[in-house]
Amino acid sequence: MSTMFSKYQFVLLFLVLMASQVVAQRKLIIAKPASPAKYTFYEGEEIRFKLKGERYWNKAFIQGLGDDYIRLHYTTIALSEIEMIDIRSRSHSYLHMVAAIGVYGGVGFIGIDQFNRSIVKGESGFDEKTMLIGGALLSTGALIYLLKRKKVKIGRKFRLRVAEY
C-alpha cells in the first residue's frame, strides 16, 4: 500500500515541478475594442506591415513580442508606430470559401452543361439559362474576392495589442 501512495506522490511532485517550467507564449492580436481577437500573429510567423509616415510595406519574421513592441530580425518596432497590417494570409474564412465555390462553380457549371449539350445531346451553341446562372455564380464569387478585406488600418476601429496565453 505504501508503494501506491509513493507513486501518487511522485506523480503529483512531477506535475507541480513541471507547471513551474511552463512558459506562456505571446501573440500579437488585432481586434476591435472590447471584442475577441479578429486576427492573430505568433512569434516566428511572417508579418507584412506599413509604418506611420512611410509609403512602402515592410515584411519580416516576428522574433519576439514585448508588451508594447515587436522584435524583428534587425530592429524593434513599437506597436504605436504601425499604421497598417496586411492580413491576406489570415483571411481564410467562410467568405473566402464561398467566393472560391462561386468562381469555380460558375465556370464548372457552364463547362459541364456545354459538355452535356455537345457530347450527349449532340446540340451546338450555348443555353441562355445556363450562361445566366453560371455568370451569376462567377461574378458573385469574383465580387466577394474583390471586396474582401486585404489590410487592416490600426487606429480607431482596430487595435493592436500583445497578449499571453
**What's the grid cell of residue 127?**
443555353
- Domain membership of residue 11 (yes or no) is no
CB atoms within 10 A of CB 49: 23
Whether 55 and 102 share a structural domain? no
Q: What is the pLDDT of residues 102-159, one digit of tens each?
A: 999 999 999 999 888 888 777 877 788 999 999 999 999 999 888 887 888 888 888 8
* Distant-in-sequence, close-in-space partners of 149: CB < 8 Å, separation ≥ 6: 87, 91
- Domain membership of residue 37 (yes or no) is yes
Q: What is the pLDDT of residues 51-68, one digit of tens each?
A: 999 999 999 999 999 888
- Domain membership of residue 76 (yes or no) is yes
Whether 80 and 99 share a structural domain? no
Whether 157 and 125 share a structural domain? no
- Domain membership of residue 106 (yes or no) is yes
Opening angle at CA 104, ends 120 and 108, nearest 5:
5
Q: Which domain holds residue 48?
A: 24-86+151-164
For residue 32, what pLDDT band results from cuts at 50, 70 and 90?
Answer: confident
d(CA 63, CA 45): 8
- 3-state DSSP of the chain: CHHHHHHHHHHHHHHHHHHCCCCCCEEEEEECCCCCCCEEEECCCEEEEEECCCCCCEEEECCEECCCEEECCCCEEEHHHEEEEECHHHCCCHHHHHHHHHHHHHHHHHHHHHHHHHHHCCCCCCCHHHHHHHHHHHHHHHHHHHHCCCEEEECCCEEEEEEEC
Lowest mean pLDDT among 39-43, 91-95, 108-112: 91-95
- Domain membership of residue 34 (yes or no) is yes
Q: How many domains does the chain have?
A: 2
pLDDT surpassing 70 at residue 69: yes
